[in-house]
Structure 1
């Protein structure tokens, strides 16, 4: 499609301005077809950037290797450029919008010379859903186009919904590597030096400007940039929630169904939980989403959630048939792998994949030939796959994807789960006493530092409130207020009972010998079953100073876990919690200054009082 054919005057003008600034050799408006996707893959193969994989093992799959400077999100180059610095808050990097746009405009000038500008109209969420939003990304990367085809809904159907004057989030992206006449990439991943990388968000004008990186969430601007940083601002202003949460469908042996969401910081088993295979007989767990949930209130007062994404952008190392069979099945075809190892027989390989690599040699993520490992154990600093190596796979290929994962109405949420990696103090599962208590739980989410480079951090808790610290597009104190305000509105409307119940879970408790007390993975279905029953107010809990914990006997101990251990996992560590409260009061809440809601300090006081009673 040509730019001239577009019906949306504002979109057309925006593209024309970008063409004048970035001076690409040509412009293509993406139509979202399979033919177009195939063409993008072939463009990358012809440029030496993509390697086709063994069609017998991984049909339709390719492997990319990025530049070593461009392998993950670059948090220190990620900006929330609100008009007032105070609105960005202490946990975001801020630069004044006028100054930042001036700097980036200079970088964008001529940045697409020698390249094609691709215009990607995309929908975050099922096309036409009342909960979905539309974005348009301009990019000079065929890698980005291919990934966006998998991760979002792209093309003409999006433009049809956008119409002549619909709202869209404008997203600029350039790898920042213009080509001289006759110059080609020749297999070298295009990106700019680290100092010239910018991933910038302008909350007031709902814009995203990204420059210099071609990787992941820095370049796939529907991912964290729109789906969380800009969407969190839209959600605050419009009265809904844009959260870093998985969405699960749970079905009990009677056939009753409930949907739950869960927010977990990195390395806490979020993807594994999203695709869990339950060990409890008769229970069924299906995936609606593995990473992000957008939730709006329905007329009945319940929160309805959609997964705004259409694919999985999963971390490869550590994923195997034991840890996450469904993820492995999801990426067996039509998938994009980035920064994994390449075996002699054209297969991918990564650390903890479940077996050694085939053949005598393997090509690592930097393109170097290495001896094939006989096992899959990682050697720090000598990894064959980068620790942040990824697979991009269509969600529809997941064996456990729920039939309603693309329902435009969304699914009604019964429970929120929060959790971190905590070897002590936090019980296996704990239900909040109230909405405000639940917001308190979300606000103190974090993981204990167990192997930090700085030795005096070991044993400290690195807080990641709601697992949103890197992704909230405004001040976290105001974010907490937004959550509290939704509870107040529901109460004022007489619909507080329709709000999801809130729980804190912890699969990572350790004993005195440093061994995990709970087996996790599929056995977590036992905790989900308890949560399911609590949503129906079943009498399966005991009230404690920190919340409602499982009544003895209401969670069946899995094999290898004694009743004594289960009792310890479901009890209150009074002294540990006193230290927890003291740490929150001294080291965590003060970070948010006078924007920290008084209600959460009151909750802190109330829990402390109960612990001392």
Structure 2
């Protein structure tokens, strides 16, 4: 279990500011008159003590209280340019930020949960005791902001007023981090204490990039103090390690959903989008996928975009499941973003009018960003994440240096997207009728399948398998990625899984509005289905069809074929949807390749999960019951029809639902 407020608060232990009076004395000493006026109206003791102790610990020369006004935003933009954290590009509102060459993703080997003695920490994460964390932060962060400006921002992770939003402070010496926060989160300076009173908690994030030198990177640390909902990060630059409002605070939200609100809300690594039928019906869809596995593409395939990365989900009083996006912007991976697959996003990136922070792309001699897979002619040379670049250049190991890093990103406000939905700012959230889970699977699962019940749906999420992506420094190979949320589950997997089963089986959900749960897989290759080459069987635009089928299923508008892994589409329905939604012919032979069950591969996948989960403690028995039942059904089907079973064969022996 997790006990909040247990143990010393590290920043207060170091800062030694224990009273509101002492905090105000420090503010009077350290803040310029205008900045002092901005903090004078704050009254919450916990908020004031966090800010004061952060100042006492980090010792900045200047403290800037960011109110979110346009003048304050411009100050932050200018500071980022002045410090060299960003450089202006020719297109108005566009800047480029380069992370350290050695830090192009989350530093998972230097990221720790601060834990009290009896607290369980995920088996997939690193743990640090509170005394060791105190010593680590003291050595790493005391005085780290001398000569720097500390920016203090006040944000809501979700629309203000939503029951699952989380107020949070970002305290940083990085203008790039502060600039990113202004694009990605809702600045609620004037409403911050009201939200804290309403929700009875807030998160605190303290970061400094230090001297920003490669030789300092081995000493970089990211620490998350779960009991005091405070993160610490230093000597790092990549946003996944520094913009602690994002995945750092997402972890705290996962804790909140598991240990305070179990069975009532979820904090997930999910996109949120809405599909619209010709008759005008809107259906909310939320879906999990590890970074680099098509999450942004799926979100953008919806008719009304809400978010591409995180979701706060709850059961409303009317029995509906509802979702809000903690963010109001995109920190999106750029690789393979192009006009064919991502026309809406490309308009923002290539046409004037959108504020964009680029990171780790190539900038050519004309100041134009380029990246791998953009579908445009590449330049001969430029500057990218590792320095000067030219076509064909090799690194020290003789490996070709790509035009951009696989984890190159763009940061922009969601309101810039033409399909952005005003519903994203509704504190009542979006009614969510479909939940999806996907990874990178080249040879096993079909493009889409629907769970037969909530338990099977939770197990789809638990069994995501993905190729390692560029978001994690040092990660490689194929690995399990439970719920695409495993790196962000602070406590035991057993507790998190139990929360999933309780939520989706909750009797509080109206039976007619219970979300369907499904798997998605965009990465099947020709060679995995009897052809040649690693080219994908489908296209990016097919995503709209898979989502449309799930939308129809959630309203009981289409039948499906029952299989041991769940329901799969009927060919006639897909043929019609391909024509209606993307004006594409969908041949029967392609359907057979995509939706035939390759039983040996699926059984091998199930065995992988049974072996891995068998090493965990106290897991809910439903997981093993579902996997063992599917295993038995698949083997029976194999005994009857062989290792490859077409939808036609399945349909001949199973009921159509």
Q: TM-score under structure 2 normalisation?
A: 0.82
- Are 1:193 and 2:211 matched, yes or no? no
Residues 556-586 of structure 1: per-residue CA shift (max 9 Å, x gap): 1855753022023223333332222222222
Matched residue SS, 1:63: strand
Query: Where in structure 2 are the equivalents of 1:403-422 lying within 5 Å?
Result: 403-422=422-441
For residue 362 of structure 1, what is the aligned residue in structure 2? 382
Matched residue SS, 1:556: helix
- Following superposition, the deviation at residue 101 of structure 1 comes to 2.3
Paired residues of 1:286 and 1:401 also in contact (CA < 8 A): yes
- Following superposition, the deviation at residue 190 of structure 1 comes to 5.9
Decide which of 157, 176, 186 is 2:190's aligned counterpart: 157
Paired residues of 1:339 and 1:365 also in contact (CA < 8 A): yes
Distance 1:140 1:494 in 2: 45
For residue 564 of structure 1, what is the aligned residue in structure 2? 589
Matched residue SS, 1:18: helix
Matched residue SS, 1:321: coil
Paired residues of 1:549 and 1:571 also in contact (CA < 8 A): no
Cα gap change, 1:428/1:163 in structure 2, threshold over 3 Å: closer, same or farther? closer
Decide which of 610, 613, 616 is 1:589's aligned counterpart: 613
Cα gap change, 1:266/1:584 in structure 2, threshold over 3 Å: closer, same or farther? same
Residues 209-260 of structure 1: per-residue CA shift (max 9 Å, x gap): 222212212111111111x211100111223111000011100112111011
For residue 599 of structure 1, what is the aligned residue in structure 2? 622
Cα gap change, 1:506/1:95 in structure 2, threshold over 3 Å: closer, same or farther? same
- Are 1:210 and 2:233 matched, yes or no? yes
For residue 32 of structure 1, what is the aligned residue in structure 2? 68
Cα gap change, 1:583/1:70 in structure 2, threshold over 3 Å: closer, same or farther? closer
Cα gap change, 1:366/1:583 in structure 2, threshold over 3 Å: closer, same or farther? closer
Query: Where in structure 2 are the equivalents of 1:439-458 lying within 5 Å?
Result: 439-447=458-466
For residue 125 of structure 2, what is the aligned residue in structure 1? 92
For residue 487 of structure 2, what is the aligned residue in structure 1? 470
Decide which of 232, 235, 257 is 1:235's aligned counterpart: 257
Cα gap change, 1:542/1:117 in structure 2, threshold over 3 Å: closer, same or farther? same
RMSD, matched Cα = 2.5
Distance 2:196 2:550 in 1: 43
- Are 1:108 and 2:141 matched, yes or no? yes
For residue 56 of structure 2, what is the aligned residue in structure 1? 20
- Are 1:484 and 2:501 matched, yes or no? yes
Once the two structures are overlaid, the 10-residue window that deviates more, 428-437 or 518-527, is: 518-527
- Following superposition, the deviation at residue 596 of structure 1 comes to 1.7
For residue 6 of structure 2, what is the aligned residue in structure 1? none
Decide which of 203, 212, 215 is 1:169's aligned counterpart: 203
Matched residue SS, 1:222: coil
Paired residues of 1:134 and 1:158 also in contact (CA < 8 A): no
Once the two structures are overlaid, the 10-residue window that deviates more, 85-94 or 404-413, is: 85-94
- Following superposition, the deviation at residue 476 of structure 1 comes to 1.7
Decide which of 298, 302, 324 is 1:273's aligned counterpart: 298
Distance 1:162 1:487 in 2: 28
Once the two structures are overlaid, the 10-residue window that deviates more, 398-407 or 314-323, is: 314-323
Distance 2:368 2:377 in 1: 12
Decide which of 350, 358, 363 is 1:342's aligned counterpart: 363
Paired residues of 2:345 and 2:417 also in contact (CA < 8 A): yes
Cα gap change, 1:19/1:536 in structure 2, threshold over 3 Å: closer, same or farther? same
- Following superposition, the deviation at residue 112 of structure 1 comes to 0.8
For residue 544 of structure 1, what is the aligned residue in structure 2? 563
Please list every run of 5 or more consecutive structure 1 residues that lacks an aligned counterpart in the other structure.
Answer: 178-188, 277-283, 452-456
Residues 9-42 of structure 1: per-residue CA shift (max 9 Å, x gap): 2211222222222111121111111221211121
Once the two structures are overlaid, the 10-residue window that deviates more, 525-534 or 330-339, is: 330-339
Matched residue SS, 1:317: coil
Distance 1:516 1:554 in 2: 25
Distance 2:426 2:299 in 1: 18
For residue 579 of structure 1, what is the aligned residue in structure 2? 604
Paired residues of 1:526 and 1:556 also in contact (CA < 8 A): no
Higher fraction of helix: 2
Once the two structures are overlaid, the 10-residue window that deviates more, 30-39 or 556-565, is: 556-565
Paired residues of 2:122 and 2:489 also in contact (CA < 8 A): no
Paired residues of 2:571 and 2:588 also in contact (CA < 8 A): no
Paired residues of 2:42 and 2:193 also in contact (CA < 8 A): no
Decide which of 157, 179, 189 is 1:124's aligned counterpart: 157
Q: Which runs of 4 or more aligned residues in structure 1 lie more than 6 Å from their structure 2 counterparts after TM superposition?
A: none
Once the two structures are overlaid, the 10-residue window that deviates more, 332-341 or 412-421, is: 332-341
Distance 2:169 2:241 in 1: 15
Please list every run of 5 or more consecutive structure 2 residues that lacks an aligned counterpart in the other structure.
Answer: 1-34, 471-475, 579-583, 637-657
Residues 455-485 of structure 1: per-residue CA shift (max 9 Å, x gap): xx97xx5210110121112222211111011
For residue 299 of structure 1, what is the aligned residue in structure 2? 317
Cα gap change, 1:524/1:66 in structure 2, threshold over 3 Å: closer, same or farther? closer
Matched residue SS, 1:404: helix
Matched residue SS, 2:246: helix
Cα gap change, 1:602/1:125 in structure 2, threshold over 3 Å: closer, same or farther? same
Cα gap change, 1:27/1:233 in structure 2, threshold over 3 Å: closer, same or farther? same
Q: TM-score under structure 1 normalisation?
A: 0.88
